Structure formats: structure tokens, C-alpha cells
Amino acid sequence: MAFFKDRILATHDTWSLTILRIFLGLIMWPHGAQKLLGWFGGAGPAAFMQSFEKVSGLPGWLGWFVIIIEAVGAICLILGFWVRLWGLAFIGLFVGIILAIHLPYGFFMNWGGNQAGEGYEYHLLVIGMAWALAVGGAGKLSIDQTMANQERRF
């Protein structure tokens, strides 16, 4: 078990991972807050669940995973807490979003409003950022780094 925890907490001592995780967290948190709290023009959890079931065709309880990853996971990324695991969660979430919803609309976002839905280019950016964090860890100024350093002292 200690080996697993060491692998999860290990991080490269670099600012680039810090910047990456903070920006991904800042980008994702408002999406989670829309779903969980109804902030930023969101409708809250009940309306999200109803829409989630209708649009994705998946059971509503899976929508709670989306909410938890986007709201709680984003805060954990910003703080640098268990970043590798949250990175994997974001990868899984966004692969699922592409496959369940955006794949038929192609690569490009619908900037001109001339297609029925949105493409998946944004989702690939999130996957790339999350993948870098899953591989590299949390970087400097993270709870993970602090916990890993404390573990080494004992």
C-alpha cells in the first residue's frame, strides 16, 4: 500500500505542472459549480441529471460522477491533492463525453453556429492537460508534494 501511495504522490518539482493543474482546475470548476450549485447560469443538480439522462442516454446516477469530477476534482487540482488520480478521472470523463455526445459532430467547435452540435477539440485539450498531470504529478506548491516530503522524513 505504501508503494501505491508513493507513486500517487510523487511529482516532478516543476512550475509547469503547477501552472497546468491550476489552469485546468480553474477551467473545470465553473462547469462543476453550474451542475452542483446552479452557479454561472447552471440549472443545478436536478436539472442536470434530467438533461444528462436525455442527452447521453446513460442512467442519471452516472451524472453524479460528472459533478464530483468537475466540482470536487477541480478543487483538488487547484490545491494539488491526489492530482494523478484526478487526472485519470478527467481523462475517463472526457473520453466518455466525446464518445457519448460529441463524436458525431466532428473535430471542430461550432464557432460559426453552422452545425447541430459541438466538436471535440476542446475535450482533447482537457484530455492532454489531464494526461500530463497523470504522468507528471502535481508539481510545486501542492499538497501531494508536501505529503510525499513528509512521508520521506518518517
pLDDT tens digits along 50-90: 999 998 888 888 999 999 999 999 999 999 999 999 999 99
The residue segments making up the domain with residue 74 are: 7-28+66-153
pLDDT tens digits along 101-141: 999 999 998 888 888 889 999 999 999 999 999 999 999 99
Residue 60 within any structural domain of the chain = no
What would the DSSP string read from start to end of 3-41?
HHHHHHH-----HHHHHHHHHHHHHHHHHHHHHHH--TT
Q: How far apart are CA 89 and CA 33, in angstroms?
A: 17
Residue 133 within any structural domain of the chain = yes
pLDDT tens digits along 6-47: 788 888 889 999 999 999 999 999 999 999 999 999 999 999
Residue 78 within any structural domain of the chain = yes
Residue 137 within any structural domain of the chain = yes
Residue 52 within any structural domain of the chain = no
Residue 39 within any structural domain of the chain = no
Number of independent structural domains in the chain: 1
pLDDT given at position 1: 56
